[in-house]
Structure 1
Amino acid sequence: MSEAIWMPLFDDLADPGIVADLAARAEAASWDGFFVWDHIRWQDAGRRVGDAWVTLAAIARSTDSIRIGPMVVPLPRYRPAALVRQTISLDHLSKGRLIVGAGLGDDRFGGEYSRFGEDALPGR
């Protein structure tokens, strides 16, 4: 992959239809990949935040060849079995175009863990 777009799913970009249209345009313009942020909250509590997996499903249905995926899946926020099911389903829906980045996530930008009573690194 040589050229990819990453998209924060905030405010107007919280709408999966808008982002899927942008991904289709990126594909038509010969971009190689289209990746979205996976956040549940960002610095300003008043911002709308879209769901990465729902948006990626919309992108998968709106495109044919561009690689897609979440920038980084914050693993502690997901139940393992549910994440595996989502990943397999999205990979099938995209016909094998899914690329998954995985990490621990971070609490520093919006309190995505602490505001929900969770810890990004339990047992630390």
Structure 2
Amino acid sequence: MRFRIFTEPQQGATYDDILAVAQASERLGFDAFFRSDHYMKMGDAGEIGLPGPTDAWTTLAGLARETESIRLGTLVSSVTYRPPGILAIQVAQVDQMSGGRVELGLGTGWFEQEHLAYGIPFPAKRFGMLEEQLEVITGLWNTPIGERYSFEGAHYTLVDSPALPKPTQARVPVIVGGGGAKRTPALAARFATEFNLPFPDFADVAGKFAGVRTACEAIDRDPQELVYSAALIAVAGANEAEFARRATAVGREPAELREHGLAGTPSEIVDRLGALAESGVECVYLQIMDLSDLEHLELLAAEVVPHLS
């Protein structure tokens, strides 16, 4: 099982805060550092999330030059934020800047309020946009140098694009996820290298993965070509008092965290992860909400990861 750190900087973090967590994640041996792609704090409407948002791909460009080995990506970028041609350029450039360590998670977006707050259009129907963006982005990257790429769809039209720049990686990993029963698995089967379940009910994991495998088989793709992952909040404590303190710090109840996340003592979390592995989870995104608590990362790296890596 691979372990990745997943952060939510829109809740209130500077670039330096994010950098500290990314560099700690690298030093502690985590496989990747991922961040959300949002422009507004979620939760209490009275809190605005100082110091304000950081742009995901601007952040990752900085991290690409200030880290050496850890993989970097978004979970997930929204199709509403950037036209696919621009996103393809951004991701390819950050991949070059990092020496080939970038991954792209892409989704439909859902947080309407941030769109209203920053003047970003938020169409009611976005799944078609996601499908076309995946086709355009991968099409641009896969177009041989010297050839041109054109596309005409319901949402986007590209005419004689030089399809540059190219990523450093021969194939940038693309993550598609969600709980949909048919359309999302079909999209993952067509375009993704990884299928991710964000904050799933534990009992649903095996069935959701089975749906993706069926979608792969329907188009004659080997289901084993995909990585199967899950994103879950992680709150650990060496003892009950430390766990309760960390739960309070992120505004969650200990019992609720134990029910829905990777929470409690390291041994409890190891047991939960073991069950997830039996359900088919190969990679886990540990959602870390308190970016100031680097000792939390150290505990997870020392007392959880070695039991399942």
TM-score by length of 2: 0.36
Map of 2:62 onto structure 1:
58
Contact 2:2 2:31 in 1 (8 A): yes
Helix, strand or coil: the match of 2:9? coil
Mean alpha-carbon deviation: is it higher for 84-93 or for 99-108?
99-108
Map of 1:23 onto structure 2:
22
Helix, strand or coil: the match of 1:102? strand
Aligned mate of 1:95, from 99, 115, 118: 99
Of structures 1 and 2, the one with the larger relative CO (CA 8 A, separation 6+) is 1
Helix, strand or coil: the match of 2:80? helix
What is the one-letter code of the residue matched to 1:2?
A: R
- Structure 1 unpaired stretches of 5+: none
Distance 1:123 1:106 in 2: 9
Pairs aligned (count): 121
The root-mean-square deviation of aligned C-alpha atoms, in Å, is: 2.2
Helix, strand or coil: the match of 1:10? helix
1:1-124, aligned counterparts within 5 Å?
Answer: 2-10=2-10, 12-13=12-13, 15-43=14-42, 44=45, 46-47=48-49, 48-107=52-111, 111-115=113-117, 116=119, 118-122=121-125
- Structure 2 unpaired stretches of 5+: 128-309
Deviation at 1:56, TM superposition (A): 0.8
Distance 1:123 1:90 in 2: 26
Helix, strand or coil: the match of 2:34? strand
What is the one-letter code of the residue matched to 2:8?
A: P
Deviations 1:55-112 (A, max 9, x none): 111211111111111111101221222111111100101111101111111025xx12
TM-score by length of 1: 0.84
What is the one-letter code of the residue matched to 2:3?
A: E
Bigger Rg over Cα: 2
Mean alpha-carbon deviation: is it higher for 111-120 or for 68-77?
111-120
Distance 2:32 2:10 in 1: 19
Flag the 1:57–1:41 CA change in 2: closer, same or farther, 3 A. Answer: same
Deviation at 1:114, TM superposition (A): 3.9
